Amino acid sequence: MIKEETLLMLLPGFNCGACGYVNCATFASALKEKRATPEQCTVFRQERFKEQFTKLTGMLNLAGIQATETYTGLIDKAKADFLLHPLPGEPSCRETLACFSAKKISKDDVIRYRPLGCPITHFARVVELDNGLLDVWVTGPGKLLGREEMVIDVGICMVLSFRGVIEGMRPYVGQTVKFLPAHCMMGKVHSGVIVSLEDQTTRIDCIDLKIWEHTKV
């Protein structure tokens, strides 16, 4: 059985946090538990650490320890890096919308809208408002779920960010990722950039429904 101490000795030891973990020790633990891959350490990818990188990845392969993509979109069968669950106690991943409607919108209102680039009409409850941006939970059509509520039709909205809890490989801040929102009605893989990360809770900005294959290191 491979030891965390052995992995730690091969890591650069900078404890810089660029991989998304507090220090190299917690990163070594994540490597052993298949929650991370060596490529997440940007320092480790430098030429001067090539020998250590090769040795560590070889050890992980021999031990059968490899973080693998296990999440697939329903629409295009694209592979996602991870699944994104709602924040604790919330019904769906929290989304930030840029709404172009001139209609007055208040906290707790239910809006009907279509995200730019998505063919599906969404229903969402407004959680917060900040300088014209809306934080919402996607809640579905109220009548189908036994709720009676007034709905404000706001047309096209742009989804700016997602917030939720990661299930799967932990990314690092600044990484472009492919993720699958757990509540997405189309089961569509999204892409975006990790802008904050604490434990498994993250915020992903620059949301796009177009995805590309990751560059191979």
Give 159-194 pLDDT, tens digit per residue. Answer: 999 999 998 878 889 999 999 998 887 889 999 999
Other Cβ atoms less than 10 A from the Cβ of 155: the count is: 12
Read off the pTM.
Answer: 0.69
- Encode pLDDT of 18-50 as tens digits: 777 888 998 898 888 877 788 778 788 777 888
Domain ranges for the chain: 4-62, 71-208
Residues in a beta bridge with 129: 134
Whole-number Å distance between alpha carbons of 205 and 88 = 20
Domain 4-62 part of CATH 3.30.465.10: no
Whole-number Å distance between alpha carbons of 153 and 157 = 11
Q: Residue 123 pLDDT > 80, yes or no?
A: yes
Q: Residue 6: what are its φ and ψ, rounded to 5°?
A: -65, -45
C-alpha closest to that of 91 among 150, 138, 135: 138
